[in-house]
Amino acid sequence: MLPQLSPLAQIEPRLRTLLSADLYATAWVDPSLDTLTRVFEHLRTLQRILHDYVPRRVSGVPVIPGRIRYEWQEGTLMFADLAGFTRIVEANAATGNEGAQVLLQVLNAYFAQMIEVISKSGGDLLEFTGDALLVQFPAEKDYNDTVHAIRAGLRMQRAMARFATIETPQGTYSLQIRVGIHAGRFLTADIGTPLRMEHVLLGNAVANTKQTEANGQPGRVCLTLSASDRAQNQFRFESWKPDYCLVVDDLTDQQLGEYDLTTPSRRPASQVLMDRSIESLVAEIENAVSRIEPLASYLSSDVLDLIVESAAHRKIQPAFVTATVIFVNLIGLDKDLYHAEPSEEAGLVAFFSHAVALINATVEARGGVLKKVTYHLDGSDMVIYFGVPNSHTDDSLRAANAALAIRSIIARLTPPNVNGRLVALRCKIGMARGPAFAGEIGEPHGRREFNVLGDTVNTAARLMLRADANQIVITEAVHQEITSRFECESLGSVALKGKTTPVSIFSLIKPIDSKPSQKYNG
């Protein structure tokens, strides 16, 4: 006699990516009451984890995966960048797992402190950008979002006193932050495919916020003049650079206080099993899957697998890895949003969604991870990793192929029209290979994400900024790995921020075995 069909048969395809390998097998071969209860409890834990991996807007009102959602918003943005952490990474890299645990402890103590301040001040942490934070203070009636952002920035700077002296087995270190604040109008969008969504911010306001941080001073809160005008009667300001000022922190502890708002808990309401029959459990499991799928779509398949397999422990072990990192700067689309007619906005956002979907597909097809899409000083940046969380013996070759494919995708796209003219679309790409720190960073039981940090990541970003239009600039380490398979051109040695000596760089041209053709010129 054939065995009875599993009670989970109808939803089995939806469970494949959400259950750990052993739990999936057990649920299929032994769908007992006890096993189904374990499946339900696993999914409940996974929902809580994924809820903490996305911004409040995404978790609060999830979008149907694959459906584009966008809107213009007014508010104040904060960008806070950590200074001094790369030195701690480099000092602990040689000590393996012990050093990784030290780094995770330091980093998560910092993030937990900052996230608590941000939450109590009414901010929404939108993204971790390396070891930096992008925070939104939404504009609301009878609520001066800029004032709340400034108060949050001052609290964050005061909280950094805890990190002025950090004792580690490798020595004593110090951390500081620069905080930049700007108020303006920006577009938030949820884009992508049912398999992979992204929540992005577009527009000059985001770039201006990051420029404000870059022009700031460690230990201080820096504002654009337009932002300071919105809080003139609340704080004193000190002239700093053209178009920027610094907040004078002359408030008493009582005047500043510990919080402005009590924000709703990020935690989703826990599901309670009232009926433990097979039929009820299967129905609750299906409900849980429906709640998880929108959140899961915001993670790459490799990172989702890592979270699913470690959900029982509620912790991803940190590690030092060898990674090949790509930064892609997509230029030309975002700025045109400000000049577009309302009837053209939907087409621009859909075009951006199309481009990101194609780029993500080519990265995943080669075993890489599109970590995130963020807005930088000039267009949208895409951060891509090879070698983490899954490594291959040929990660640099895979990354080189991906970079060339991304450049070709962007060149082949038919750009949209804005006010009767085609958008001038182009890209800049930087790639580096070397040691990096990988781990789950943030608040251990709150807002967090899996991330990769270190000098290799910083170097790839700086090479991207040095690249010409449609150029791929790589480090010598990448060149050595791919030189037998790809045509490259030496660009000499250049000085890079954070490097004591000049760095040899190269331009990646094409695969050596490709058909003879003219060099790529965009």
Q: What is d(CA 191, CA 67) in angstroms, rounded to the nearest whole number?
A: 7
Write the DSSP symbol of residue 85.
H
- Indicate the CATH number for domain 66-256: 3.30.70.1230
Q: Is the pTM of this model over 0.85?
A: yes
pLDDT of residue 261: 64
pLDDT of residue 519: 44
Direct distance between the N- and C-terminal alpha carbons of the chain, in angstroms, rounded to an integer: 65
Q: Which amino acid is at 21?
A: A
Domain ranges of the chain: 66-256, 303-511
Q: What is d(CA 203, CA 334) in angstroms, rounded to the nearest whole number?
A: 6
**What does the mean pLDDT of the chain come to?**
90
- Is the fold of 66-256 the same as that of 303-511? yes
Candidates 3.30.1340.10, 3.30.70.1230, 3.40.190.80, 3.90.1150.10; CATH matching 303-511: 3.30.70.1230
Q: What is the pLDDT of residues 139-198, one digit of tens each?
A: 887 779 999 999 999 999 999 999 999 988 888 999 999 999 999 998 899 999 999 999
Q: Please, are residues 181 and 153 in contact by the beta-carbon 8 Å criterion?
A: yes
3-state secondary structure of 210: helix
Q: What is d(CA 432, CA 395) in angstroms, rounded to the nearest whole number?
A: 12
pLDDT of residue 517: 43
Name the H helices within 121-165: 145-159
Q: What is the pLDDT of residues 359-416, one digit of tens each?
A: 999 999 999 999 989 876 677 899 999 999 999 999 999 999 999 999 999 999 998 8
Q: What is the pLDDT of residues 248-305, one digit of tens each?
A: 999 999 999 887 865 555 556 666 666 778 999 999 999 999 999 999 999 999 999 9
Q: What is d(CA 392, CA 388) in angstroms, rounded to the nearest whole number?
A: 9
